[in-house]
Structure 1
């Protein structure tokens, strides 16, 4: 899915606001750990005001950004798990399923060819029809 330039700009704005919020929270943590009296209190007040302003800007800009996030990923994050792990597990599961389906497909193809040969041996007058059906489904009959 391609994202329009307008949507990209909105995403960039929201991303910038999120980074500013995270930075404000980090600054507050540092200031709280290294508290040195009234100067730190004043700096913390300014940081909290900045945080509130960024949160307000984000709450105004966020509704205009449309991102489809699968509910499974949201659940994963809400359980304090890394969404990258979800992605890795999904890829591994998909690879296993693809291998299983490939094996099944190959087994059905072998069964088709064996069945076609057995039908030709049992009912030789159907040879042309069986050959057409087998070839139209990707098989080949030798003999």
Structure 2
């Protein structure tokens, strides 16, 4: 699947990254201060998080980004969506190889049947050759 190149989608992606970064900053703030972050630093990070979430929700309503439910499930299970993408690509490659092999097998079957029919029933040779000429050519 080709990436979406819309400027509005890129902006939404940037805003989502800002939200994630702000959440990360809150975690770092808590860890750096051994669970006792200063009130000012925490306020600042929460304010940044809320601001980035507001800007994300106020983006243009006509932007529709369809996220497959499988990806949403992956994220809900705390898994990396890049893993889903990699597995999806690998599955597509396997299916393409399987279908290519199947197509090649059908072409081989067609040629074998044509040869056997022409040798067993010589009077059908012209018709078989006509069928072979009109059949799709190998595209591999």
Number of equivalent positions: 135
* Greater gyration radius: 1
Q: How does 1:1-143 map to 2 (within 5 A)?
A: 7-8=6-7, 10-33=8-31, 34=33, 40-61=38-59, 63-138=61-136
Q: 1:111 to 1:61 in 2, by over 3 A?
A: same
Give the superposition deviation at 1:126.
1.4
Q: 1:100 to 1:46 in 2, by over 3 A?
A: closer
Tell whether the 8 Å contact from 2:15 to 2:55 is kept in structure 1 after alignment. yes
Give the superposition deviation at 1:82.
1.4
Structure 1, gaps ≥5 residues long: none
Cα distance in 2 between the residues matched to 1:67 and 1:90: 19
Name the stretch that deviates more: 55-64 or 75-84.
55-64
Task: Decide which structure has greater helix share.
Answer: 1
Give the superposition deviation at 1:78.
1.4
Instruction: Report the TM-score when normalising by structure 2.
Output: 0.74
Structure 2, gaps ≥5 residues long: none
Cα distance in 1 between the residues matched to 2:128 and 2:90: 39
CA-based RMSD: 3.0
Q: 1:31 to 1:114 in 2, by over 3 A?
A: closer
Name the stretch that deviates more: 51-60 or 16-25.
16-25
Give the superposition deviation at 1:132.
0.8
Cα distance in 1 between the residues matched to 2:70 and 2:89: 14
Tell whether the 8 Å contact from 1:24 to 1:51 is kept in structure 2 after alignment. yes
